């Protein structure tokens, strides 16, 4: 499997769900690419398993209160995309 160097970021913010309280996140973002012919078995608890481009889907289709993770991943610098091993 090819993967990029990890990109580490942090956030401190007041969540909408908990006004007046602060939440701290540490992000470890890594791009990973499977070999071209790799086959991943579908776990029995899934109807199907496939890649969906989050840029083409509404957030509720892929996330439950973690849309910020995908949003942050999509903002990755182009240099991290090229850093695969």
Concatenating the DSSP letter of every residue in 35-74 gives -TT---PPPTT-S------GGGS-GGGT-SS-HHHHHHHH
Tens of pLDDT, residues 33-61:
889 899 888 899 988 888 888 889 888 88
- Choose between 80 and 31: higher pLDDT: 31
Q: With 0-12 CB in 10 A as exposed, 13-18 as middle and 19+ as buried, what is 32?
A: exposed
φ/ψ (deg, to 5) at 37: -100, 15
Give pLDDT, residue 80: 45
User: What is the residue-averaged pLDDT of the chain?
Assistant: 83
The pTM for the full model equals 0.55
């Amino acid at each position: 499997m090819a993967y990029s160097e990890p990109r580490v970021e942090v956030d401190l913010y007041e969540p909408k769900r908990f006004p007046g309280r602060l939440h701290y996140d540490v992000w470890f973002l890594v791009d990973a690419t499977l070999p071209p012919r790799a086959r991943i078995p579908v776990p029995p608890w899934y109807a199907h398993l496939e890649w969906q481009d989050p840029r083409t889907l509404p957030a509720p289709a892929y996330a439950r209160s973690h849309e910020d993770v995908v949003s942050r991943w999509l903002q990755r610098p182009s240099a991290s995309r090229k850093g695969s091993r």
